[in-house]
């Protein structure tokens, strides 16, 4: 998501009750851009704005739709 600071987006989503992260699960907590995204040719500044969203069997379509609506609102707000 160009023009969006990944860490700020993570904090805003966390405040709304959504647990997302930046980078891979094995590299969580790091402040560097994802090495996987870099290896795929994604520019470092764009890779640093990436977030990782995980779903489980218990997630409903309504929860997913609500998350997408909130994500859009936060991204367009930035």
Supply the pTM of this predicted model: 0.73
The answer on pLDDT for 51 being more than 90 is no
pLDDT of residue 27: 53
55-59: average pLDDT: 93
22-31: average pLDDT: 58
pLDDT of residue 26: 53
pLDDT of residue 25: 54
- Residue from 19, 25, 26, 40 carrying the catalytic annotation: 26
All domains of the chain in start order, with CATH: 6-77 (3.90.1150.10)
In whole angstroms, how far apart are CA 12 and each of 36, 63, 64, 78? Answer: 25, 17, 17, 11
Q: Using 50, 70 and 90 to split pLDDT, how confident is the model at 71?
A: very high
- Indicate if 26 belongs to the active site: yes
């Amino acid at each position: 998501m160009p023009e969006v600071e990944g860490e700020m987006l993570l904090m805003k989503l966390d405040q709304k009750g959504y647990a997302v992260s930046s980078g891979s699960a094995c590299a969580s907590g790091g402040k560097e851009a994802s090495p996987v995204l870099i290896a795929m040719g994604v520019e470092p500044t764009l890779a640093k704005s990436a977030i990782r969203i995980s779903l489980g069997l218990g997630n409903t379509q309504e929860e997913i739709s609500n998350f997408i609506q909130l994500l859009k609102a936060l991204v367009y707000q930035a």
